[in-house]
Structure 1
Amino acid sequence: MAFDEMIFGKIESLLFVAGDDGLAPDQIAAIMNVTKGDAETLLAQLQTNYEQRQDAGITVRKYGGRYRLVTKGEFAEDIAKMLENPSPKSMTQASMEVLAIIAYKQPVTRIEIDDLRGVKSEGPLQTLVAKGLIMEKGRLEGSGRPILYGTTELFLDRFGLESIDRLPPLTEEEEGEQEDTDLFMTKFQEAFNLQEDERGIID
């Protein structure tokens, strides 16, 4: 069966959005309206395309029956250099919001984070994982078994915390206002701003 070349771009987009969760061939088949066999063939071809391109820094890998976009092994040393000294100073507002949610609500899934923020959080999550500030803490039981995220020891070190229990507390009144997402996120940011002011971590 012949496929439009754009179909590879569509699959690439789906894998990018799926992030660490990845996608199974039957999921891609349902979205793309092709058979599972066709989806597996397309995924294999996409992987071959990446491997043959020397100018590509990413490729496709299969983990536990699900396909993910990952960085190529030959660039591991360069990536390690970038991660040698992760610092909250360079973090965007979006990354800070996601980090705050994970710090207070961990373990938490990407979908739960998205619901709280009202926008997709895949980019900030990838940034935080790359900086070593968050990590996978297992998977939630149930459909799709989504990844649960939590903070790392490096997070505690960078924010000057002895333990996660030393995070600035949220009052019961603030915790009860979670239905108002904007106000909830404001409280998160206020808590982190307090921590930053006390420790002088972020300019």
Structure 2
Amino acid sequence: MTEQSQKQHQDCRMVEAILFASESPLSVEEMTERLPEGVDVVAHLATLQEIYALRGVNLVLVAGKYMFRTAEDLSFLLRREIDEPRKLSRAAVETLAIIAYHQPVTRAEIEDIRGVTISKGTLDVLMEAEWVRIMGRRKTPGRPATYGTTQEFLVHFGIETIKDLPGLHELKAAGLLDSVDIALDKLGGMPQPADHEEQDDGQIDIEEAIARSERDAIEGANKKDLVDTADEPAV
């Protein structure tokens, strides 16, 4: 082994050691600061990803940072050791989903999408889990706080960026949006993709559309009951 190849091997071992010992994911910049000058961190990360691709642990990129994680097909072996006793209520799960897909979003906007008010405790639970944070304040009367997801949310769910969340078609394929077709019919079908800058303003609010279709169904049923009552002979 030449002197150059020995140095490359040693540099790769140092990158591996730093990642192995770290309790949290590390960015390229953070690793560069800890290593001697001249170490090609990016190249060694690519090498390590290839080496660990078929092993029991993989080198993965989450939230723009690198970490070792148990291979997905072997995660069941450690489930007993790594599962956390953290159970979320249905309200918390729905609130987390709304924040993830609509961030930055205010409390009032969350309630408008869900159709019911949320208790302060629901947001507190999500913030204590470090999955949700206050992102700032909306420039509207009252300056309401806006909420968004955190890096811990991405790491916990193994997502590199928010853009990797499942889209509409994936959710439909999984059977999680059973009434979405009815809801879209109410709004005239699927919208055409807008420009990147206008995409957020032009998108259909699926939850609101579904809620609207359900309200229409209830109103229709109530009207039918009134008609049936009116047709009954007087006693």
TM band (smaller chain):
0.3 to 0.5
TM-score scaled to structure 2, two decimals?
A: 0.38
TM-score scaled to structure 1, two decimals?
A: 0.44
Q: Which structure is richer in relative contact order (CA contacts within 8 A, separation 6 or more)?
A: 1
